A and B are shown apart, each in its own frame.
Chain A
């Protein structure tokens, strides 16, 4: 069945450093890949997304890259700040119908001052 693998499960960086989270997916027909940030006890919030007709998208300190051939996409956060500390989830939209999202297991990012 459809599956999304996410690495690493935890990531610890110093303030100002960059952070990279990587995901692979199994459904080759997936065409939408969102990233969600979830703070403790809060709802997941969309931070950036990419569709399969583009290879890269950037929004200020956040960028996402997509390699459809390898079925791989990544989140890049530059100049990290303590408020970036949270759990980040990648997801792929299942192509089999109805737009359900298949989520990775999450990456807990800690940014130390």
Chain B
């Protein structure tokens, strides 16, 4: 199975800050990586697919990058509504695997 190492597990940042979340995979996954945002009691919401493609309707302050085995989700200017848990997902091979999640809090 492909292991996903997501970091940090939690972070606290201020409105306007630039935030970066990293996902490392145990082997190469081409560009079969996506990011999700989940708020308490809600289903995950799609943010980014194919490493860097922004889903329709997602604010442009969200971006994704990376290649090989290291990928990042960046929020360029944090907003209060970005408080959530973020997950990466590899869908390159079975079983699909998620990162452990990053809980983002607003100071």
Does chain A bind chain B? no
